[in-house]
Amino acid sequence: MKSQQIRQQFLDFFASKKHQIVASSPMVLKNDPTLMFTNAGMVPFKEYFLGQKTATEKRVADTQKCLRVSGKHNDLEEVGKDTYHHTMFEMLGNWSFGDYFKKEAISWAWELLVDVYKIDKDCLYVTVFEGAEEDGLGYDQEAYNYWKQFIDEDRIINGNKKDNFWEMGAQGPCGPCSEIHVDIRSAEEKAKISGKSLVNNDHPQVVEIWNLVFMEFNRKADGSLEKLPAQHVDTGMGFERLCMVLQNKQSNYDTDVFTPLIREVEAITSNDYGVKEETDIAIRVIADHLRAVAFAIADGQLPSNTGAGYVIRRILRRAIRYGFTFLNIKEPFIYKLVNTLSKQMGEYFPELKAQKQLITNVIKEEENSFLRTLDQGLVLLDGIIKNTKGTEVSGKKAFELFDTYGFPIDLTALILSEKGMTLNEVDFNSELEKQKTRSRAAAVVETDDWVILEDDAEEEFIGYDTLEANVKITRYRKVSSKKEGNFYQLVFNMTPFYPEGGGQVGDKGYIEVSNGNVIYIVDTKKENNLIIHFAENLPKDPTQKLKVVVDEKQRFRTTCNHSATHLLHQALREILGTHVEQKGSAVHSKNLRFDFSHFAKLTTDELREVEDFVNARIDSKIPLKEFRNIPMETALEKGAMALFGEKYGDTVRAIQFGQSVELCGGTHIQNTGDIWHFKITSESAIASGIRRIEAITGDATKDFYFENNKAFFEIKDMLKNPVNPLKAIVDLQEENTTLKKQIEALLKDKAKNLKGDLIQEVEAINGVNFLAKKLDLDQNSIKDLAFEIGNQVDNLFLLAGAESDGKAFLTCYISKNLVEEKKLNAGQVVRELGKLIQGGGGGQPFFATAGGKNPAGIEEALQKGKEYIL
């Protein structure tokens, strides 16, 4: 059975059990500070389990794209070495939000595996929670009883808290779970060792395929458990493993999820899979990582040097590294696999198809840049090897190569071992540890427990309609960070403050306390569906009613910029074409930034056209049409662009200005006329195929034009108000260059004369051509002159004095042969004579300068100069 069918059968099966089938949520998370990527099927539904939101559908099933790069069994550096771990994987899941529980979850799981997928039940084992005394939890007899209706009792295994009690984190919803394991070893091996003893023992062919979590408790901050008001089911089945089982393979990588990619790698790189262990690992790494990176890019996460982008970059670079070293490919090739991936998975994940070109470009660009880094590193490593005495390269050097130049440490180790050298790994690791400690120390934020004043499940956002409100604090906590000191995070029962999101910055403002004092709110952010206000202080009495006020001016400017961003988006699609898609957006009060997919630099004409387009819509004073809490389908009917990034259960808000319809949670002006004016300030590239436009609106454009205009009139004024200022400047420039040339010629002439005069004055003393004179020239000219004369007169000893700004300067030039023959040293001369002008100096033996603050001493110094050759 093909993997596509396996996925479809799962979804069909649960649809037949009255489940709503929903699309996968994005793998990249945007509004969760605690998590960068969806790392389990339950992540998109977190809010329902936390009780922050009520589910509209009680039964749901889906396949969720997930990414794991760290964790017990998922260290990035381990992926590819075995045959069953991945960075990106699909997790099939069925969910009950306060609906069915253990009985249905267990019997449906069995029905699907045995009756639909036809897995031999003699291959299956299940585990049941054995209980935990410290939590006062007993054996999960209920689950056991349901299982024994289907499976031999000796195939039911007890599991401890670590394996069979699932928790979301240190706090929050949790509950016992029951896992289904499958033994796919050959009959012979099964005869030798019983599968039962291999369950949960990291055996590649005795693996867990499905985990059924029965969520019924809430872990409180003090560690105690309380019963949840409703019971939920959360299941997760690894899709790749399921395919391995159903396709009778011994490795996930031998299923048709991966084989098309592996065949393609073989073809491109002329390496065969299944011949040599290290080649196989490299091919697995590439096939796995390509999926992770491609899906991340499709979700809008480009490789970068911070945060989630950095994780993606690291994954991609690891793949490049393996190709470079073990497949011996020294040029970009991974990008070529995108086509295959998109063909294979684009059917179910249309974002892959839609973004294919972009993914290809971005990967290719990233490959190129990393290959450059590798080249540079190879040269540097060569240098290090040459400068190393003995055979051990210091860990510090290797760390520098890694830390500063991005050269992978395993490559360093490999190259060294090829040359019979070793690497001091202990030192390297200690350097790495130091750097980690440093980074952590800088990022340290101490967060106290929430102090809950009032239980209020949903904090209402009222900021679309008002900028002021009387509110109560429902919970608060103290946070201290090294950089910003102490501050408080407050949650209100309702708030007019817009939390950072959708590219728009969070609101600032203040809290009015009873005695007329104010407490400033410096930022507003969203965390797990809570709107959190960052305040400098806590009101004396946090339980009283408070008046909170949003900074109106800043909000208005931000709002103008946000609405203008929509118009800009429309303009770009209209003028450049529909390949333009938003790739990022930042809306501040000062300006706006919009990143979008487009293949070429915008011409000045295009930029002008875009500006005009937006301004035309501002001029036509289009009123805002706002649709709150409408189902996605309705929004799409209105013409909103379908975005990959919405998840199940979301009702959306649509913002319409004429033809521009967007799904958006941001704040918007009532009428485009309010924006007043729109002006692009820069256009640039941020990645292959991605351009960025920065622009300003409203007041900012007034300032912009005012400043420019002012500068222009100042320039015109300086030029005596010419009719054609541009021509005046060109003329001026031309005049300037001819004058420069003339001056240069004159100076040369003058210098020649001066030089001639001075040469006349040179006296021969003891076979040395001596000259000591005070000159009315600047230091640079004296230097030039000295060298010029030195070129013409042999055996020259020249001492020059000069005065400027009340300071005295001495310059000494001595022909090189004199330096050697007579053991003269200009530096020494200048240092000694420098005392006469109350200063010091130095230089090289044949040319030196000194400076001091006593011009009166110049004459004496010049006199004394002669003594050196007498």
Q: Does 603 bind RNA (CB under 7 A)?
A: no
Q: Does 841 bind RNA (CB under 7 A)?
A: yes
Q: Which range in 109-117, 308-316, 525-533, 664-672 contacts RNA by CB under 7 A?
A: 308-316
Q: Does 147 bind RNA (CB under 7 A)?
A: no
Q: Does 840 bind RNA (CB under 7 A)?
A: yes
Q: Which of 18, 330, 343, 436 binds RNA (CB under 7 A)?
A: 436
CA distance 401 to 380: 8
CB of residue 404 vs RNA: minimum separation in angstroms? 4
Q: Give me the helix-helix angle, 858-865 and 826-834, nearest 10°.
A: 140
String of contacts with RNA for each residue 613-642, x by CB under 7 A: ------------------------------
3-state SS class at 636: helix
CB of residue 413 vs RNA: minimum separation in angstroms? 15
Q: Does 403 bind RNA (CB under 7 A)?
A: yes
Q: Which is nearer to RNA, 77 or 633 (CB)?
A: 77
Contact present, 79 and 67 (Cβ < 8 Å): no
Q: Which range in 91-99, 543-551, 607-615, 845-853 contacts RNA by CB under 7 A?
A: 845-853
597-605, long-range: CB within 8 Å, 24+ apart, which pairs?
597/358, 597/689, 597/690, 597/691, 598/572, 598/689, 598/690, 598/691, 599/689, 601/683, 601/685, 601/691, 602/576, 602/683, 602/691, 602/693
Q: Does 429 bind RNA (CB under 7 A)?
A: no
| 170 token code pair | 């240190």
Q: Does 313 bind RNA (CB under 7 A)?
A: yes
Q: Does 435 bind RNA (CB under 7 A)?
A: yes
CB of residue 271 vs RNA: minimum separation in angstroms? 25
For 379-425, give the DSSP string: HHHHHHHHT--SSEE-HHHHHHHHHHH---HHHHHHHHHHTT-EE-H
Q: Which range in 112-120, 299-307, 530-538, 630-638 contacts RNA by CB under 7 A?
A: 299-307
CB of residue 8 vs RNA: minimum separation in angstroms? 38
Q: Residue count of the chain, please give it.
A: 870
Q: Does 439 bind RNA (CB under 7 A)?
A: yes
Q: Which is nearer to RNA, 279 or 849 (CB)?
A: 849
Query: What is the torsional sign of CA 44, 48, 50, 54?
Result: positive
CA distance 203 to 210: 16
Q: Which of 844, 856, 859, 867 binds RNA (CB under 7 A)?
A: 844
Q: Does 394 bind RNA (CB under 7 A)?
A: no
For β-strands 839-844 and 807-814, DSSP reports them as unpaired
Q: Does 851 bind RNA (CB under 7 A)?
A: yes
CA distance 506 to 589: 10
Q: Does 766 bind RNA (CB under 7 A)?
A: no
Angle of CA points 684, 690, 696, to nearest 5°: 45
3-state SS class at 147: helix
Q: Which of 342, 615, 849, 857 binds RNA (CB under 7 A)?
A: 849
| 42 token code pair | 């339950």
Q: Does 712 bind RNA (CB under 7 A)?
A: no
CA distance 516 to 539: 12
Contact present, 418 and 325 (Cβ < 8 Å): no
Q: Does 850 bind RNA (CB under 7 A)?
A: yes
Distance between first and last Cα of the chain: 106
Q: Which of 4, 369, 529, 537 binds RNA (CB under 7 A)?
A: 369
Q: Cβ of 28: how many Cβ atoms within 10 Å?
A: 22
String of contacts with RNA for each residue 229-268, x by CB under 7 A: ----------------------------------------
CA distance 623 to 646: 26
Q: How many residues bind RNA (CB under 7 A)?
A: 47
CB of residue 84 vs RNA: minimum separation in angstroms? 25
Q: Which range in 232-240, 281-289, 305-313, 797-805 contacts RNA by CB under 7 A?
A: 305-313
Q: Does 443 bind RNA (CB under 7 A)?
A: yes
| 717 token code pair | 């004024």
String of contacts with RNA for each residue 784-803, x by CB under 7 A: x--xx--x------------
Residue 193 DSSP code: S
> Which residues here bind RNA, judged by CB under 7 A?
305-307, 310, 313-314, 317, 369-370, 373, 376, 400, 402-406, 432, 435-436, 438-440, 442-443, 483, 779, 783-784, 787-788, 791, 809, 827, 839-844, 846-852
